[in-house]
Amino acid sequence: MRLKSFDLNLLMVLDALLAERSTTRAAKRLNVSQPSVSNALARLRAYFEDDLLTHVGHRLIPTTLGESLKDSVHELVVRASATLDRRPGFNPRDSTRTFTLMGSDYASAVLIAEVARRAEELAPGVSFEIRRLEYPAHEQIESGEIDLLVMPEMYLSRNHDQETLYSETFVCVIWRGNTRVQDEIGIDDLSKLRHVIADPGASLGRMPNIIDRWFDDHIGWRRRIAARVVDFTAIPQFVRGTNRVAIVHGRLAQYCAAEYELKILPLPVSMPLINISMQWHRLRSSDSGVQWLRSLMKTVALAQGSGLAAKLVEAAVRAPAKRRSS
């Protein structure tokens, strides 16, 4: 049986090489040296009697056989990882497991940080690795490198399991000392004021900006930009002390309002709610540790939603309708 003569660790190298198409990047992904990856590739070529990947310029391009192996090898690696991660049961009090989550700085600030705080009480030995959102995000789920992905539902893959955590709205924030807007903001104000916007897509392969896309489709004009930042949590810093305005997630506005002396105002137009969801690899659905983490995520999201954040969402959604009917 040929399997007895094959080092199954080589499959992890082949999976990384077929995904990264670079021995250097594959080595970084696997946390090994580049010569180790090159040596493994030589062994793989000898076993399959095929080059598998060939150099074209600075990239490695899969051969016909290499390309045909990509999906099946990746499935084997992820399935093996999910199998080896299984334990008889997950006991949060005794576990020393590290959970890897990926989300935007917004998700980290308003939700994931609180989840980690709750976990400190429930599972004192558990630790968290929080990775910055990468795009396309579904690749991080496919690779099996993260336990949970947290982001708007519209950006999630249809190939893996997901669950909605909460519905989010958008509101306006201004500095309390703003001299052009006081306690109410109209559509004309929005068109005239200069905006601070977050554009994480600049570092995520141009992921569409939800607000810009909606304004293009329904309002017909683009916001006047005073500052464009990469992180959502940087927005309040560029609003404070100015007459600028920003349209932000309701929970983020509530999170930042006191520290940055901000007023939270309902939008003068009714933007639809967006669902913030979590997603995990379909092969990890029976992982008791991931199940515990998912339950904790839902508990925290629900507790937050039953408090002031929920009232903020309700006010922001209803206010425009009241103005139109008056």
Tokens 């005073």, residue located: 226
Beta strands 170-175; 127-132: pairing state = unpaired
Give the burial class of 201: count Cβ atoms within 10 A of its Cβ; 0-12 exposed, 13-18 middle, 19 or more buried: middle
Q: For 98-167+274-311, which CATH superfamily applies?
A: Periplasmic binding protein-like II (3.40.190.10)
H-type alpha helices, the chain: 9-20, 23-30, 34-48, 64-84, 105-107, 113-122, 138-142, 187-192, 210-218, 235-239, 250-256, 288-305, 308-325
Give residue 158's pLDDT. 86
Cβ of 222: how many Cβ atoms within 10 Å? Answer: 11
Fold of 2-84: Arc Repressor Mutant, subunit A (1.10.10)
pLDDT of res. 208: 59
- Residue 177 pLDDT: 95
For the entire predicted model, the pTM comes to 0.71
Indicate the domain borders of the chain.
Answer: 2-84, 98-167+274-311, 170-272
pLDDT value of position 172: 95
Q: Which fold has domain 170-272?
A: D-Maltodextrin-Binding Protein; domain 2 (3.40.190)
Single-letter residue type at 170: F
What confidence score (pLDDT) does residue 321 get?
41
Say whether 98-167+274-311 and 2-84 share the same fold.
no
**Residue type at position 64:** T
pLDDT, tens digit (0-9, with 9 covering 90-100), for 252-305: 999 999 999 999 999 998 888 999 999 998 878 888 999 999 999 999 998 887
Query: How far does Cα 211 stand from its chain's mean position?
Result: 17
Q: pLDDT below 70 — which residues of the chain?
A: 1-5, 82-88, 201-208, 306-326
Q: Can you give the pLDDT at residue 311?
A: 53
